[in-house]
Amino acid sequence: MTSTDVVRVRYRRTPYLVVTTEQHQRKDVYGSIDDAVVRQAQLLRGETDSDTAFVAMHPIGSPGYLPAFSQLARSGFHVVACGTRYTTGDAGLQMENALLDLAACVRDAKERLGYRRIILAGWSGGGSLMAGYQAEAERRTITATAAGESTPLADTELIPADGLMLMAAHRSRHRLISDFLDPSIRDEDRPKDRDPELNIYDPDNPNQAPYSPAYVARYRAAQRERNARITARALAELDDMRRAGRDQDESCFVVHGTMADPRWVDPTVDPNDRRPGWSYLGEPRVANDGPAGLARFCTTRGWLSQWSLAHAQVDAVDAAPRITVPTLVVANSADDAVPAEHPRDFFAALPSGDKEFREIVGANHYFSGKGAQLSHLDEASLIVRRWFADRQFSAAL
């Protein structure tokens, strides 16, 4: 078997839980009992033993069923696919807690499962989580939550990984949402009242694609201003609760219009090979106000930690200068979710050393669709296999 072989093996999924305890007065997730924090995990592996595991995690959802990680297992790798505590939804998600969840899963993979080497594998939103974790493991900077509250993360040992692999990954949730926010919404309490000159889905908007650089600059500035307005409201609400002596209270709200990136309707904005007029959530105009949109349902602390440009602390590009382990960055040229500049900016921010950038031409974000997209998954596994073998991470593969 060589690093250029397309490998498909039968593998099995073994579900298990990673449970730790944390003292907390406020429950951010449904179903937790007492001080227990429960993460749902799966070990994906074939019959061949290995002393190295890919540890995969995404802020929400079940990473074991994502195409990239199932493909790694199908290619013969051992994959620990671990969920965060927020598998039931990310309204109250705090990235600092997600880092704690990843720390627990890495420790469990080494101490209980017995893997000698760990490679962090981040796809999509998992990329910033993995990069942020490795950066914190190598040099700590986070001492409190984005809301300025204490966090167990400050005193938790983070076991550093031996390598890092990001695939179709954006730099952070707060940078992504800032490019997606609909700046035509002038008042969060009246979301249907929209500025027609900033509404890219309004046919009466005098600014139509292809957009001028001046219009894009104005649009981006308005998006950042809206992010700041929502952040100010979240901070004010949090301050009101604290002044009333209700430090553990929380406030929930809805963010409308979160899929209005001009690149969805103008392929010359952040150009790549994506399908024009489309996004990973389908028709962007519909997704802009649909129930499945990013950041649709939020809490004050969740907004500050995930989505606030001014307060969120986990960003792959910001973390990159602290990362020294071998790093592979794989970008999909037809990505219809992640801005093309995000993986390139992360790669450029990494220190000079053992780093590699590869692009899969024609691959979309989810590798969705038949035919060519399946071959793109094969190409992704070959890229990882060669990178893995060249660094001799494990003699068993």
Q: What are the pLDDT digits (tens) for 381-390?
A: 999 999 999 9
Residue 165 lies in a domain: yes
Place of tokens 């505590």: 85
Overall average pLDDT of the 203-211 stretch: 97
- Whether residue 292 is found in the same domain as residue 353: no
pLDDT band at 3 (very low <50, low <70, confident <90, very high): low
Residue 262 lies in a domain: yes
CA 169/CA 278 separation, integer angstroms: 19
Mean pLDDT of the chain: 94
Overall average pLDDT of the 289-302 stretch: 95
Confidence at residue 117, expressed as pLDDT on a 0 to 100 scale: 97
Q: Is the pLDDT of residue 74 over 60?
A: yes
Overall average pLDDT of the 66-95 stretch: 94
- Whether residue 348 is found in the same domain as residue 276: no
Confidence at residue 395, expressed as pLDDT on a 0 to 100 scale: 53
Q: What does DSSP say about strands 36-45 and 355-360: parallel, antiparallel, or unpaired?
A: unpaired
Alpha helices in the chain (DSSP H): 67-74, 95-111, 126-138, 173-180, 213-243, 284-287, 300-306, 316-319, 341-349, 372-390
Q: Is the pLDDT of residue 138 over 80?
A: yes
- Whether residue 265 is found in the same domain as residue 319: no
**Are the beta carbons of 81 and 41 closer than 8 angstroms?**
yes
Residue 6 lies in a domain: no
Amino acid at 242: R
CA 211/CA 271 separation, integer angstroms: 13
Q: Is the pLDDT of residue 160 over 50?
A: yes
Look at residues 258, 286, 306 and tell me which one is the last residue of a structural domain: 306
Look at residues 258, 277, 306 and tell me which one is the last residue of a structural domain: 306
- Whether residue 237 is found in the same domain as residue 361: no
- The terminus-to-terminus CA distance of the chain in angstroms comes to 8
DSSP β-bridge partners for residue 54: 79, 119
- Whether residue 151 is found in the same domain as residue 29: yes
- Whether residue 241 is found in the same domain as residue 375: no
Q: Is the pLDDT of residue 128 over 60?
A: yes
- Whether residue 291 is found in the same domain as residue 374: no
Overall average pLDDT of the 64-84 stretch: 94
Residue 7 lies in a domain: no
Q: What does DSSP say about strands 36-45 and 79-82: parallel, antiparallel, or unpaired?
A: antiparallel
pLDDT band at 6 (very low <50, low <70, confident <90, very high): confident
Residue 1 lies in a domain: no
Q: What are the pLDDT digits (tens) for 314-353?
A: 999 999 999 999 999 999 999 999 999 999 999 999 999 9
- Whether residue 154 is found in the same domain as residue 276: no
Residue 396 lies in a domain: no
Confidence at residue 61, expressed as pLDDT on a 0 to 100 scale: 84
- Whether residue 269 is found in the same domain as residue 378: no
Residue 5 lies in a domain: no
Please choose, from the candidates 90, 155, 86, 95, the residue with its C-alpha nearest in 3D space to the C-alpha of residue 127. Answer: 95
CA 230/CA 237 separation, integer angstroms: 11
- Whether residue 143 is found in the same domain as residue 188: no
Confidence at residue 34, expressed as pLDDT on a 0 to 100 scale: 78
Domains contained in the chain, number = 2
CA 264/CA 241 separation, integer angstroms: 39
- Whether residue 158 is found in the same domain as residue 184: no
Confidence at residue 88, expressed as pLDDT on a 0 to 100 scale: 87
pLDDT band at 1 (very low <50, low <70, confident <90, very high): very low
Q: Is the pLDDT of residue 294 over 50?
A: yes
Query: Which region among 23-37, 76-90, 92-106, 299-313 has the lowest average model confidence (pLDDT)?
Result: 23-37
Please choose, from the candidates 279, 289, 346, 293, the residue with its C-alpha nearest in 3D space to the C-alpha of residue 318. Answer: 346
Q: What are the pLDDT digits (tens) for 20-51?
A: 999 877 878 877 677 899 999 999 999 999 99
Tokens of 280: 């990973």
CA 139/CA 131 separation, integer angstroms: 12
Structural domain range at position 94: 12-172+313-390
Confidence at residue 108, expressed as pLDDT on a 0 to 100 scale: 98
Look at residues 263, 289, 306 and tell me which one is the last residue of a structural domain: 306
CATH code of the domain containing 114: 3.40.50.1820
- Whether residue 279 is found in the same domain as residue 335: no
CA 197/CA 216 separation, integer angstroms: 12
Residue 2 lies in a domain: no
